[in-house]
Amino acid sequence: MYTLSNKLKITAIVCMVLGLIGIAMGFLNAPSTVEEAAAIVKEASAHHGGGHAEAEEAHVMKMDHHEGEVAHHAEDEHNAESTHHAEAGHDEHAEHVFHQLQNRPWSAVLIAGFFFFMLSLGTLVFYAVQRVAQAGWSPVLFRVMEAITSYLVPGGIILFVFFVLTISHMNHLYLWMEPGITDHDTILAGKSGYLNSPFFIIRAAIFIAGWIGYRFISRKYSLAQDEATDDSNYKKNFKISVFFLLFFFVSESMMAWDWFMSLEPHWYSTLFAWYVFATMFVSAITVIAMSTVYLKSKGLLEFVNDSHLHDLAKFMFGLSIFWTYLWFGQFMLQWYANIPEESGYFLPRIEHYNPIFFGMVAINFLFPFLILMNSDFKRKPWFIFLAGTFILIGHYMDLFQIVMPSTVGEHWSFGAPEIGSILFFLGLFLITVTSAFAKTKVWLPKRDPFIEESKHFHY
């Protein structure tokens, strides 16, 4: 039986408190007026270089107008709005920068909040896949996965509240939510049938409720199977897992469009949703592997051997390559064709987020590729931990470069709000998941039809 140590509990709580302070600092430091924003930008540019403030601001203006123009060109070359946009340029620009600076703490919360949520959501998907595939090796890990998915509830509620605040115009993350935007942006007006606040929040509610719902029902059957005399619970669980995967596949696509693609509402990519899924999935399996290593080190999980670890590490390895495949597919195709509507997405990422944009490819691909290739290494707990840490950092960076360039633009940095958000959600994740560990009395799903195979699994 796992006992939640005081040390861990205190660490988690300290993380959360420090995190809250960091987030609060982020909100307090965000400008509350346009003038303040201008001052912050000026100071920041004076910081690196000095005196370049003017030039930089002019540059920013050009960039922004370029983006605006792209959108307008797409709808109509002779649109009167276009000229209007250029004339009113300066004021609008100042306000734009102001919004970006205000967005920073919100974006930080969104990234970290979703990052830890996706760890448990991806785990849930992996769990469902294992059930549907009738895997013979993984049933000894079911309880571990079930415990990790306990974070879905707090994580989901926080995300939902976040989105409620967002549609109440507490921030400027989503351009299409700005009041009156559809009056002069005909492209966004065309999308308003899908991109509108009530529909957005209803969809979010359905997705989160659906995922949490499956988690509860499946876990109920899973536990009931332990006490049962036949396999009926197992069979019900199998069925519901199939339908969950079906639901998840569709809901995940829409979730990725809603929460992330629509941050850049003029841009679109058909692959995007699957790409986000790859990020989720590989990170989640990494967390399963790391949790397994951790619990094993505590002397629990009697029947888990290095073959199980080997399998998990293979998934980390294979899915890292899969993620890279999708990343490259999306990036290369838009780079190759270089259609303005599309490349507007990658330009700021390459220009202002270069080390993150390409660094994450090294961390998410090269690193696991090289160190998890060897099958002896895949059986070593500390190797899994090392690779896992990097994979998680890399996929945080991935989310960072998905969200930040669209909401904060080039005024990004990595400071109190970002670190605070990570610490807060990390603490919450740790305390939720380890409490679930502590509540797990029996780690072995006793009467699972494949448990004997799983106990004797050796590769």
Partner 1 sequence: MASHYEAPIREPLVTGDKTYHDVTVDVAAPVEGRANKQWWIVFSIALVAFLWGLGCIIYTVSTGIGVWGLNKTVGWAWDITNFVWWVGIGHAGTLISAVLLLFRQKWRMAINRSAEAMTIFSVVQAGLFPIIHMGRPWLAYWVLPIPNQFGSLWVNFNSPLLWDVFAISTYLSVSLVFWWTGLLPDFAMLRDRAVKPFQKKIYSLLSFGWSGRAKDWQRFEEVSLVLAGLATPLVLSVHTIVSFDFATSVIPGWHSTIFPPYFVAGAIFSGFAMVLTLLIIMRKVSNLENYITIVHIENMNKVILLTGGVVSVAYITEFFIGWYSGTNYEDYTYMSIGAATGPYWWAFWALIICNFIVPQTLWVKKLRTNYMWSFIVSIVINIGMWFERFDIIVIDLSKGHLPSSWTMFSPTFIDIGVFIGTIGFFFVLFLLYARTFPVIAQAEVKTILKSSGEKYKKLRDGNHE
| Residues within the interface to partner 1 (CB under 8 A) | 74-75, 133-134, 136-137, 187, 190-191, 194, 231, 246, 249-250, 253, 257, 268-274, 321, 325-326, 329-330, 333-334, 336-337, 339, 341, 449-450, 452-453, 456-459
82 vs 253, beta carbon nearer partner 1: 253
335 vs 414, beta carbon nearer partner 1: 335
Q: How far is the CB of 154 from partner 1 (least distance, A)?
A: 29
42 vs 191, beta carbon nearer partner 1: 191
161 vs 250, beta carbon nearer partner 1: 250
27 vs 274, beta carbon nearer partner 1: 274
Q: How far is the CB of 317 from partner 1 (least distance, A)?
A: 10
Q: How far is the CB of 58 from partner 1 (least distance, A)?
A: 31
80 vs 337, beta carbon nearer partner 1: 337
216 vs 249, beta carbon nearer partner 1: 249
Q: How far is the CB of 116 from partner 1 (least distance, A)?
A: 26
Q: How far is the CB of 417 from partner 1 (least distance, A)?
A: 31
166 vs 454, beta carbon nearer partner 1: 454
Q: How far is the CB of 320 from partner 1 (least distance, A)?
A: 12
SS (H, E, C) the chain: CCCCCHHHHHHHHHHHHHHHHHHHHHHHHCCCCHHHHHHHHHHHHHHCCCCCHHHHHHHHHHHHHHHHHHHHHHHCCCCHHHHHHHHCHHHHHHHHHHHHHHHHHHHHHHHHHHHHHHHHHHHHHHHHHHHHCCCCCCHHHHHHHHHHHHHHHHHHHHHHHHHHHHHCCCCCCCHHHCCCHHHHCHHHHHHCCCCCHHHHHHHHHHHHHHHHHHHHHHHHHHHHHHHCCCCHHHHHHHHHHHHHHHHHHHHHHHHHHHHHHHHCCCCCCCCHHHHHHHHHHHHHHHHHHHHHHHHHHCCCCCCCCHHHHHHHHHHHHHHHHHHHHHHHHHHHHHHHHCCHHHHHHHHHHHHHCHHHHHHHHHHHHHHHHHHCCCCCHHHCHHHHHHHHHHHHHHHHHHHHHHHHHHHCCCCCCCCHHHHHHHHHHHHHHHHHHHHHHHHCCCCCCCCCCCHHHHHCCCC
Q: How far is the CB of 359 from partner 1 (least distance, A)?
A: 22
Number of Cα atoms under 13 Å in the Cβ half of residue 272: 21
Contact by Cβ (8 Å): 26, 417: yes
361 vs 392, beta carbon nearer partner 1: 361
Between the CA of residue 335 and those of 9, 101, 160, 306, 346, what are the distances in Å?
A: 47, 29, 35, 42, 8
Q: How far is the CB of 231 from partner 1 (least distance, A)?
A: 7
Q: How far is the CB of 373 from partner 1 (least distance, A)?
A: 9
43 vs 452, beta carbon nearer partner 1: 452
Q: How far is the CB of 64 from partner 1 (least distance, A)?
A: 21
Q: How far is the CB of 242 from partner 1 (least distance, A)?
A: 9
Buried b (16+ CB within 10 A) or exposed e, 165-186: ebeeeebbbbbbbeeeebeebb
Contact by Cβ (8 Å): 381, 293: yes
Report which of 122, 111, 101, 17 is spatially closest to residue 393, judged by C-alpha positions. Answer: 111
Residue 280 and residue 362: Cα distance in Å, rounded? 18
Q: How far is the CB of 135 from partner 1 (least distance, A)?
A: 9
16 vs 289, beta carbon nearer partner 1: 289
258 vs 410, beta carbon nearer partner 1: 258
